Homo-oligomer: A and B are copies of this chain.
Amino acid sequence: MENMETTSIKEVAHRAGVSLGTVSNVLNRPHLVADTTRQRVLEAIRELGYVRNDSARQLRAGRSRTIAIVVLDVSNPFFTDVIRGAEEAIDAAGAVAVVCNSGQSAARERRHLELLEEQRVQGVLITPVDGGRDSQLVNLIKRGVPVVLVDRGIWQSDRCSVAVDDVLGGRIAGQHFRELGHDHVAFVGGPLTIPQVADRQRGFESVLSGVRVRTFLTPELTVAAGRQAGHAIADLPAPDRPTAVFCANDLLALGLLQEMTQRGINVPDEVAILGYDDIDFAAAAAVPLSSVRQPREHLGRAAAELLLEETRSPDTHAHRNLVFHPELVARKSTARPGR
């Protein structure tokens, strides 16, 4: 077991009394090697603590077995769930997933992509900082590396992508309020420069013609921003207050909920609240939060499968842009008053 730092296939061959190629065969095509020889080689490998040098292997193979998942923010539960789904599929295919965190920084994303390109990764699954126009990413694609966009830039036909239909999500929210009989509702979210937010708003309003809809723009999608919006809504005199509020994500909804609870405004009787994402904490809130759920793990799995498909048959592969449907998870925060 000692002297491991420099153990190469050559020493294994020497110790086992065979040639280099045989050792290689034992490792890669064991059926070609006679039983006794194979045993001897495996024995030598064990004794020397030999570990294959992946650099050399890759150098010859021209590509690696790893698939990279580049996310905007590892601490966002949305992405961690996407990661889990993708890992599942990648694992099942015998590849290995590594996660890179761009942390919303274009510079870090670029650094990661550069390295990944140098490492000749098998493919990249990415939620790009800038929607996928970055030159580094374009280079990667030009080079023939399969790339799948996750939840961004679904309109680009030169690559695969997966996303969730946010307009539909908004529609589902509006529909839900309609069915509950609300005739004065509100949308809380922002900034509208985030396509997801704008889409959700658009879908929401599109099914609410004839209903009074107010909009409260927020500077970000956080609990604090939700609280502030809640402040503004609670300050309205009761007759002028919307009876149902759709928030662009669950954090906003949780903030809103807290503010309402603190102000003594009953949820859902006086104000119904509907979130988006269905994060784990939604169900666990003081008043269990209704939410529009995105199939996060599914999204990741589908993305990984598109990627794997492309790596397996790059020639016949046709790029696809999958769009998933969100679904309503109704809980107490939008229960019909009086229930």
Contact = CB atoms under 8 A, between A and B. Distances in A.
Contacts of A57: 118
B87 A54 contact: no
A103 B115 contact: no
A70 to B, nearest CB: 11
Interface stretch (A16-24, A93-101, A171-179): A93-101
A286 interface: yes
A112 to B, nearest CB: 7
Nearest to A227: B284
B120 A103 contact: no
A142 B286 contact: no
B284 A115 contact: no
B98 A100 contact: yes
A144 interface: yes
Contact of A120 (B53, B98, B261, B284): B53
A276 to B, nearest CB: 17
Contact of A119 (B54, B77, B99, B284): B54
Contacts of A120: 53-55
A118 B75 contact: no
A54 B282 CA distance: 44
Interface string A106-137: 00100110110111100000000000000000
Complex A-B, nearest 9 residue pairs according to Cβ-Cβ distance, in ascending order: A286-B286, A75-B80, A54-B118, A99-B99, A55-B58, A223-B284, A55-B59, A98-B98, A55-B55
10 contacts: A4-B144, A66-B115, A74-B74, A84-B103, A96-B112, A97-B101, A98-B98, A99-B99, A254-B281, A254-B284
